[in-house]
């Protein structure tokens, strides 16, 4: 599932796809990730997801799962922490 190409068939620069503590974002070839978006850590993107410009997803304490065909819009922020 960890493919680094987008739906337009180009390979984006991977500096915006960042592992954290041994966990890397996972996604398949149907996912579009804009080169200005930032994905960090334990992230799972479902098929057909689009992550638009300047959208940071930071999973440094918990996993972020984005369901199939979801859209993270420009400047949308994903990251949260839950304490039990």
How far, in whole angstroms, is CA 12 from its chain's centroid? 13
Structural domain boundaries in the chain = 16-72
What is the side-by-side order of every strand in the sheet holding 56-66?
17-18, 38-45, 56-66
75: tokens are 């400047």
Distance CA 1, CA 78 (A): 21
What are 32-82's pLDDT values in tens digits? 999 999 999 999 999 999 999 999 999 988 999 999 999 999 876 665 554
pTM for the full model? 0.74
Q: Quick check: 33 and 17 in contact, CB under 8 A?
A: yes
């Amino acid at each position: 599932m960890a493919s680094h190409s987008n739906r337009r068939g180009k390979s984006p620069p991977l500096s915006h796809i960042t592992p954290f503590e041994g966990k890397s974002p996972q996604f398949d070839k149907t996912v579009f990730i804009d080169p200005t978006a930032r994905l960090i850590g334990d992230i799972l993107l479902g098929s057909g997801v689009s992550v638009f410009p300047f959208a940071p997803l930071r999973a440094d304490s918990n996993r972020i799962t984005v369901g199939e065909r979801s859209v993270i819009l420009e400047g949308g922020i994903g990251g949260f922490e839950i304490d039990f």
